[in-house]
Structure 1
Amino acid sequence: MTRGETPDPRHAYVEREAAHRVARDRSGWESRRLSTARVVTFLAAAGAWVLSDVLTGTPGGIAFGVALGLLIVFFALVSVHARVRRRRRVHEARRSLAEEGLLRLDRDWEGLDAILPEAERIREEVPADHPYAVDLDVCGRTSVVRLLGPVTSTRGRRVLRDWLLSPPRVEEARARREAAEELAPLLDLRMEVTVHGRLDAAPGPGGIERFLGWAAAGRDGVGTGLRWAAWVLPLSTLVLLLSTMNWGIPPFWVVPALAQLVLARRVGRRAASDFSAVALGSPALRAYVPQLRLLEGREWDAAALRRIGERLGAGDGAAHLALRRLSRLADMVESRRNMFYAVLAVALLADLHLAIRLDAWRGSWGARAVDWLDALGEWEALAALASPAHDHPEWTFPEWRTSGPPGVEARALGHPLLPPARCVGNEVTVGPPGTFLLVTGSNMSGKSTLLRALGANVILAGAGAPVCASYMALSPLRVRTCMRVEDSLAQGVSLFMAELLRVKQIVEAADAGEDGAPPVLYLLDEILHGTNTAERRVAARGVIRHLLGSGSVGAVSTHDLTLADAPDLERAAHAVHFRETVHETDGATRLTFDYTLRPGVATTRNALRLLEAVGLGGLELDGD
């Protein structure tokens, strides 16, 4: 089930990074020239204006005409300069995305973190008691989320996070896999959607949520009287004022003018909350409009992508057109900060006209706005799943098995967060129920990494992404891990107690499988090492026996080579091990590891060798 031949992803990123770097530099050069031209044109216009005043004493004549012409040229240059500067920002955003792609390929997490936009560097918070998020590096700087590619919207990041942190649903995973396969070769489209999401600074989650709350609230229903007043009062004031100025009639214009003043103040106070909500959403609207325009009207094969297209609409009902209208109204809301706006707010009842138009927009489109942005967030999350499919054509999409005994079977299984040059693939089989994978080996040989590789790939499969393997088949499983357990001084919990609480969660989850939930995939790394060896062995055997009887499947890593010596566990264990090679060079000890899985229980240990390797070989040890 590996995919066909695809273009070299590194070449694709290198080519785009170089092309957009050149285009960015060219736009920068144009920008500097235009900046100089603006200064020269403005100074020339000012000089011509002064010259006309010196020659004639009043503005006029040829010099004055030249000054006006130069001012027109100046404002034209301002407009052109703004477009060139934006074009430079676009090329820089595209170049940066290509560089990020190269950093992801190399697993340069520190370099990637340094160039990501601040909004995308936010550490996703996960509950401390989540059954696997911390152990499997789902979120954070070096994480599965970072591997999957850029997601600019808060809603998109939330969707992706939920897919990775929730139990798999096979039909949904298959639908997302189909979408990811279709999006994988569309690198330029995926990059362009991300570019527009980054160009305009999006508000924080509170800002966009407040805007969406306003949009979904429904129409206020501005009364007919106010709608008439919005036009009649300013017109009456103007007509009566002109009558007073031209024909000397009494100043009746004061009456509608005072009514306008009172009405403007009341409308300003009443609509302040609406204006604030729209203003908070304004930056996001500028990003969403071009993003949605790129996605609308496309013909998709994947059902998930077709559903997104249907939600975004087409023609006059297209989401981007409706949001563009609202974006223009949002620009008018922003203009209320101008000191001249206060005059318009009274003279033309500008706030009332704006409130009427916003209310009309909300009545027509507000209920759909939340769904549009949810659809965009879902598309971004699907595009993130497509990123490793493009970047790693040697990876595969997994095969789901909904019948037969539960378990996982994989070939060339590696850890997706390791640099490809250091990632060693192994053949791994977990299951059927009543058996467990027993992983032994010396320190630093790769036991913990194997368990994390297994867990990380299973959650990638559940999300609909490709996995770091040449082949993988699995059944629906709920992942549970016990790896990075820590004590807590604040809560008064020792290391051993923290491990017991984690193991209790795993046992309870395994027992819950009897209620129709998918079986548990347990990954236990050196469990219960917070107590003495004898009691640890007894307790660990008891936990494993219980899990074997629960219908769960899993893997256990240990240094204790006698853990599975009990006859029942020996029959249930599928033992594999890693080993090291010791090199003695000029009296120095050096250990190397090939990270290749071998059958059977480990036959070597290396703790004392490691003491020598770090320079502690001179210690007096028992048994010397």
Structure 2
Amino acid sequence: MSLAEEFYKENIQRCLRQTKDLNYKVKIIGWSRLFVVILGVLTDYILYSQNKLNLILISTIFFIGIFIVLIFYHNNIIQYREKINTIMKINEKGIKRLSGDFTSFEDSGSEYLDYKHPFVDDLDVFGNNSIFQYINDTVTKGGREELVKLLKNEGNLNKLDIAERQEAVKELSSKAVWRQNLVLEGSLKKSKDIDLDNLINWSEGTESSSPLRIVIACTFILVTIFSIYLAIVKVIPQSFLLLNLMVNFIVVKVLSKSMGTEIKLFESIKNSIYGYSKILFLIEEENFDSQYLKNLQGKLKSDKLSCKEEMKAFSDILDWIGNSSYNAYYLLFNILLFSDVFLLRSLEKWREKNGNKLKGWLEVMHKIDALVSVCNLPFENENWTYPVILDKNEITAVNIGHPLLGEKAVENTFSMTGNQKVSLITGSNMSGKSTFLRTLGTNLVLSYIGAPVHADKFSCGIMKIYTCMRTKDNLEENISSFYAEILRIKILIEACKRGESVFFLLDEIFKGTNSRDRHTGASVLIKQLIKYGGVGLVSTHDFELCDLENESEEIINYNFREFYENNKIKFDYILREGRSTTQNAIHLMKLAGIEV
């Protein structure tokens, strides 16, 4: 049993025991509340029958007090049980990842599938059975978007940044309990879809409400208090209070008319801000050793300000905003004390102090939230290795396997070093060519985000990945699959001509045309890619292409083979040097029952 599996199972067992105890407590407290109500009613009845009316009030207050204490205790236990259940779900999700059952996870990131992107569709970065679906544990909208950016390899990659992220991932992967606490805090109270853009726009705004609003609000509050007093001493009729409240309602509407958008924004994000304050507290309080994490943490505090304290203050202010401005209790509170006016003024004061820092604080949280998901890879795959990033466009892999196949992955050793620029991969149908191309590409993606890879040893240069594997027609744009392939290859060639360091993966290129055109086109393409500095792999059924190895030392042949047992075709998915010498199309047709 791996350390990760042991950790997850121990946590699940502990949560089950705690849940059982908490369920028992909830049941006991529920019956206790009923007992207090019955006992209180009986006591008051006995006191009433004995004509001890002066004690009835004391008795009622006493039992109501006990009842309220039980309610608070009951709610606290229910909230704690919710935390325990959430922790158990986090660990159950880990067990599913370990068993390869991650395709059942709801969030696959399918909205990020983009056939125009250089590699995300071909390498299963998003969608069902994807890298994103496998590792994603983000609990913030921005963290999810940051993880997407990492997996797309957006931005300018450099050796130092990758090395720093590797160190950060190593450190965070060893903080399993801390990572689960972060996921927990982000999962408990969460708005369905927090409006980050409008929140940032508000925080960076400079407009403020007129001080006259506060003066008007205070004036009407004083009038209301004085009116209540006069009604109590019967100087004015109580009906005047109703008129006063109606006037207050109109005044509140007028004063808060321009604040309606802001109030709706804060109502929608208050739960998420509560979770964010908890997450930022965890980040600011933790002791980090890696430079990357220290740099991020340093952005959360200064000599004058502490992010955790200011975000808690922000959350506390928002907590006063009712779930709905039309909630009966909140509406009454608003009419009596003009709460919207004072809440917005408190928020403006908070913005004056912290508004220009909020975006930076959230960016720190989002980056660490994304890294926490990346850390699932090293924590759950102890035998994976961190790649060595080279200063040259080479790639070497010892016992490399596909990260999404788990124990089913067949490991191979491969290298393209020195003058070698293009590897031609030949082999029969279903022998493993496409899977191997994806194996290299997927591990490269993981290398560039600072994660470990499924290999015993892995080294690579920093290259832009371009693929052409799953081309398909587009009826809306009147594009055939063959022409779609041509367009992707054009993008690849243009990238090489721009001087980009390109790593390409081409699977069965030009399969939509006749054999002569396919061979000629592939030969010309490979020579152009070498000419403009491209490095990569090309899989093909065109065995004649393998002759290019004799023309250039920059081209090397590899192959996959099949074998037969009891008239059944078998594959070992082992990569071998040299060209393929076998074909299996006719045999497969016979096995399928097609007369040949």
Q: Same fold (TM over 0.5)?
A: yes
| Cα distance in structure 2, aligned partners of 1:258 and 1:107 | 63
Matched, 1:134 2:127: no
Deviation at 1:149, TM superposition (A): 4.0
Task: Report if the CA contact (8 A) 2:103-2:134 is conserved.
Answer: no
Deviation at 1:143, TM superposition (A): 1.3
| Cα distance in structure 2, aligned partners of 1:257 and 1:107 | 62
Residue identity in the other structure for 1:154: K
SS in 2 for 1:334: coil
**Stretch moving more, 192-201 or 168-177:** 168-177
- Identify the residue that residue 466 of structure 1 maps to in structure 2: 452
- Identify the residue that residue 478 of structure 1 maps to in structure 2: 464
- Identify the residue that residue 441 of structure 1 maps to in structure 2: 427
From 266, 290, 294, the counterpart of 1:302: 290
- Identify the residue that residue 66 of structure 2 maps to in structure 1: 73
From 72, 84, 93, the counterpart of 1:91: 84
From 342, 346, 362, the counterpart of 1:373: 362
Matched, 1:495 2:491: no
Task: Report if the CA contact (8 A) 1:132-1:480 is conserved.
Answer: yes
1:146-161 to structure 2, matched below 5 A, reads: 146-161=133-148
Residue identity in the other structure for 1:505: I
SS in 1 for 2:169: helix
- Identify the residue that residue 31 of structure 1 maps to in structure 2: 26
Deviation at 1:607, TM superposition (A): 2.1
**C-alpha RMSD over aligned residues:** 2.8
- Identify the residue that residue 311 of structure 2 maps to in structure 1: 323
| Cα distance in structure 2, aligned partners of 1:149 and 1:125 | 14
SS in 2 for 1:534: helix
Residue identity in the other structure for 1:457: N
Tell me: CA distance 1:29–1:565, structure 2 relative to 1, closer, same or farther (3 Å).
same
| Cα distance in structure 2, aligned partners of 1:391 and 1:246 | 73
SS in 1 for 2:347: helix
Residue identity in the other structure for 2:180: M
Task: Report if the CA contact (8 A) 1:222-1:359 is conserved.
Answer: no
- Identify the residue that residue 14 of structure 2 maps to in structure 1: 19
From 354, 366, 373, the counterpart of 1:384: 373
Task: Report if the CA contact (8 A) 1:408-1:431 is conserved.
Answer: yes
| Cα distance in structure 2, aligned partners of 1:415 and 1:245 | 79
| Cα distance in structure 2, aligned partners of 1:212 and 1:590 | 63
Task: Report if the CA contact (8 A) 1:406-1:476 is conserved.
Answer: yes
Task: Report if the CA contact (8 A) 2:191-2:268 is conserved.
Answer: no
| Cα distance in structure 2, aligned partners of 1:249 and 1:101 | 68
| Cα distance in structure 1, aligned partners of 2:328 and 2:223 | 25
Deviations 1:263-285 (A, max 9, x none): 42322212222211111111101
- Identify the residue that residue 609 of structure 1 maps to in structure 2: 587
Residue identity in the other structure for 1:413: I
Residue identity in the other structure for 2:20: D
Matched, 1:417 2:404: yes
| Cα distance in structure 2, aligned partners of 1:91 and 1:352 | 39
- Identify the residue that residue 3 of structure 1 maps to in structure 2: none
Residue identity in the other structure for 2:17: V
Instruction: Give the gaps of 5 or more residues in structure 2.
Output: none
Task: Report if the CA contact (8 A) 1:429-1:437 is conserved.
Answer: no
1:42-441 to structure 2, matched below 5 A, reads: 42-49=37-44, 56=51, 60=53, 62=55, 65-111=58-104, 113=105, 120=107, 123-166=110-153, 168-205=157-194, 207-223=195-211, 225-239=212-226, 242=229, 263-313=251-301, 317-334=305-322, 336-402=325-391, 405-419=392-406, 421-432=407-418, 435-441=421-427
Residue identity in the other structure for 1:520: V
Deviations 1:498-524 (A, max 9, x none): 1111111111111111xxx3x100101
Residue identity in the other structure for 2:13: A
How many pairs were matched up? 591
Task: Report if the CA contact (8 A) 2:322-2:330 is conserved.
Answer: no
| Cα distance in structure 2, aligned partners of 1:67 and 1:323 | 41
From 486, 499, 510, the counterpart of 2:496: 510
Residue identity in the other structure for 1:19: R
Deviation at 1:64, TM superposition (A): 5.5
Deviation at 1:146, TM superposition (A): 2.6
Deviations 1:548-584 (A, max 9, x none): 1111110011122112224665643211111222111
Tell me: CA distance 1:384–1:274, structure 2 relative to 1, closer, same or farther (3 Å).
same
Matched, 1:620 2:595: yes
From 583, 592, 604, the counterpart of 2:570: 592
Deviation at 1:443, TM superposition (A): 1.6
**Stretch moving more, 561-570 or 159-168:** 561-570
Deviations 1:323-353 (A, max 9, x none): 2222222222216433144343333332222
Residue identity in the other structure for 1:555: L
Deviation at 1:106, TM superposition (A): 2.2
Task: Report if the CA contact (8 A) 1:94-1:195 is conserved.
Answer: yes
Task: Report if the CA contact (8 A) 2:108-2:126 is conserved.
Answer: no
Tell me: CA distance 1:270–1:104, structure 2 relative to 1, closer, same or farther (3 Å).
same
Task: Report if the CA contact (8 A) 1:297-1:314 is conserved.
Answer: no
| Cα distance in structure 1, aligned partners of 2:356 and 2:448 | 32
Tell me: CA distance 1:295–1:244, structure 2 relative to 1, closer, same or farther (3 Å).
closer
| Cα distance in structure 2, aligned partners of 1:61 and 1:520 | 90
Aligned-residue identity in percent: 25
Tell me: CA distance 1:210–1:378, structure 2 relative to 1, closer, same or farther (3 Å).
same
Residue identity in the other structure for 2:363: D
Tell me: CA distance 1:67–1:507, structure 2 relative to 1, closer, same or farther (3 Å).
same
Tell me: CA distance 1:295–1:315, structure 2 relative to 1, closer, same or farther (3 Å).
farther
SS in 2 for 1:333: coil
| TM-score of the superposed pair, with normalisation by structure 2 | 0.92
Deviation at 1:221, TM superposition (A): 4.8
Deviations 1:439-476 (A, max 9, x none): 11122211111100100111111111111111111111
Deviation at 1:393, TM superposition (A): 1.8
Deviation at 1:316, TM superposition (A): 7.5
| TM-score of the superposed pair, with normalisation by structure 1 | 0.88
Task: Report if the CA contact (8 A) 2:549-2:556 is conserved.
Answer: no
Task: Report if the CA contact (8 A) 2:419-2:553 is conserved.
Answer: no
| Cα distance in structure 2, aligned partners of 1:569 and 1:197 | 59
Deviation at 1:51, TM superposition (A): 5.6
Deviations 1:101-154 (A, max 9, x none): 12212221234x1xx5xxx45534243300100000111231112333411111
Tell me: CA distance 1:221–1:429, structure 2 relative to 1, closer, same or farther (3 Å).
same
Tell me: CA distance 1:314–1:436, structure 2 relative to 1, closer, same or farther (3 Å).
same
Task: Report if the CA contact (8 A) 1:442-1:605 is conserved.
Answer: yes
Tell me: CA distance 1:51–1:367, structure 2 relative to 1, closer, same or farther (3 Å).
farther
SS in 2 for 1:412: strand
Instruction: Give the gaps of 5 or more residues in structure 1.
Output: 1-5
| Cα distance in structure 1, aligned partners of 2:424 and 2:128 | 31
| Cα distance in structure 2, aligned partners of 1:314 and 1:222 | 31
Deviations 1:275-316 (A, max 9, x none): 111111111012112212211133322121112211222798
Residue identity in the other structure for 1:285: I
| Cα distance in structure 1, aligned partners of 2:248 and 2:347 | 20
| Cα distance in structure 2, aligned partners of 1:535 and 1:211 | 56
Tell me: CA distance 1:244–1:285, structure 2 relative to 1, closer, same or farther (3 Å).
closer
SS in 2 for 1:440: strand
